Amino acid sequence: MIQLKNVSKYYPAGFGKTYVLRNINLEIKEREFVSIMGPSGSGKSTLLHILGLLEEASEGEYVLGETPVLKLSEKKRTELHRTSIGFVFQAYHLIDELTVYENIETPLLYKGQSSSERKSRVADVLDRFNIVAKKDLFPSQLSGGQQQLVGIARAIVAEPKIIFADEPTGNLHSEHAQQIMELFKELNQKDGVTIVQVTHSEANAEYGNRIIRLKDGWVENA
């Protein structure tokens, strides 16, 4: 599902380069639930952003599904991000001016689904996550845990095969965190969604089947 070959990411620094990721070789198979761990500054977010099509690698090869991502234009990459994957952010990243319903609907608009298709998909997800009563509220009217439920609802509404999550429970109390991790586990086991999360929490990592450890931009194990 995911293949990285000799992927590096650097930023210009004076006359040289500062490497954030070096020669990453990685394979993630369909239906895996992988956790990326490592100290702050080790490159976890950068790696997840590259995998999730939010940033481009500087060197190497990245194949997502059948698509050689690094050969795409930025426009095509953004389009692929919007239509084929789900991305969950630590700080939710909901659109403040849109209701819960409208936030969840956005990926379906990007996909060009008809209004009746959108209605039925959003209704299904609201129902599954038990947030029907919140549908006309704005993000600021919700607790953190509820906002993250909406963030995940938005990530899965278009039924992507893979979800990337950047410390999805980093802003939540442990009770809500557990609830969110149970949800990812269910999406992985029941719906067969591949999940790649960045986490600082060993407890969160235990929900997955494999840990990738980063240190100073290198993969310590793969």
Interatomic CA distance for residues 91 and 96, integer angstroms: 12
Stretch that binds ligand ADP, among 35-43, 62-70, 123-131, 187-195 (CB under 6 A): 35-43
208 binds ligand ADP (CB under 6 A): no
197 binds ligand ADP (CB under 6 A): no
| HSE-up (13 A, CA, CB side) for residue 62 | 23
20 binds ligand ADP (CB under 6 A): yes
92: left (phi over 0), alpha (psi -120 to 50) or beta: left
Q: Is the CB of 42 or the CB of 146 nearer to ligand ADP?
A: 42
Stretch 38-57 residues interacting with ligand ADP (CB under 6 A): 38, 40-46
* Residue 75: CB minimum distance to ligand ADP, A: 21
For the beta sheet containing 59-64, the strands, ordered from the edge strand earlier in sequence to the opposite edge, are: 16-28, 2-13, 59-64, 67-68
Q: Is the CB of 42 or the CB of 147 nearer to ligand ADP?
A: 42
Stretch that binds ligand ADP, among 36-44, 76-84, 118-126, 154-162 (CB under 6 A): 36-44
* Residue 214: CB minimum distance to ligand ADP, A: 7
Stretch that binds ligand ADP, among 37-45, 147-155, 184-192, 203-211 (CB under 6 A): 37-45
DSSP for 59-89, written as a single string = EEEEEETTEEGGGS-HHHHHHHHHHH-EEE-
Interface with ligand ADP (CB under 6 A), residue from 6, 11, 109, 186:
11
| Helix residue ranges per DSSP H, 85-213 | 100-110, 115-128, 144-156, 174-189, 202-205
Q: Is the CB of 126 or the CB of 208 nearer to ligand ADP?
A: 208
CA-based Rg of the chain, rounded to a whole angstrom? 17
Q: Is the CB of 38 or the CB of 151 nearer to ligand ADP?
A: 38
* Residue 142: CB minimum distance to ligand ADP, A: 23
For 105, the token pair is: 């609907």
* Residue 171: CB minimum distance to ligand ADP, A: 12
For the beta sheet containing 162-166, the strands, ordered from the edge strand earlier in sequence to the opposite edge, are: 86-88, 162-166, 194-198, 33-37, 210-215, 218-219
Classify 128 as helix, strand or coil. helix
Q: Is the CB of 108 or the CB of 198 nearer to ligand ADP?
A: 198
Contact residues toward ligand ADP (CB under 6 A) are 11, 20, 38, 40-46
